[in-house]
Amino acid sequence: MEHLSWSFQDRIATIKINRPPANALSSGLLKEISAVLDEVEHHADIRVILIHGEGRFFSAGADIKEFTTIESGTEFSKLASYGQELFERMENFSKPIIAAIHGAALGGGLELAMACHIRLVTEKAKLGLPELQLGLVPGFAGTQRLPRFVGFARAAEMLFTSDPITGAEAVQYGLANRAYSDEELLEQAYSMAKKIAKKSPVSVKATIELLNYSKTAEFHQGVKKEAELFGEVFVSEDGKEGITAFIEKREPSFKGN
- The answer to whether the CB of 143 falls within 8 A of the CB of 222 is yes
How many Å apart are CA 233 and CA 240, to the nearest integer? Answer: 9
**Residue 209, amino acid:** E
- The answer to whether the CB of 117 falls within 8 A of the CB of 96 is yes
How many Å apart are CA 133 and CA 163, to the nearest integer? Answer: 9
Q: How many other CB atoms sit within 10 Å of the CB of residue 25? A: 25
- The answer to whether the CB of 43 falls within 8 A of the CB of 201 is no
How many Å apart are CA 133 and CA 61, to the nearest integer? Answer: 13
Catalytic residues: 111, 131
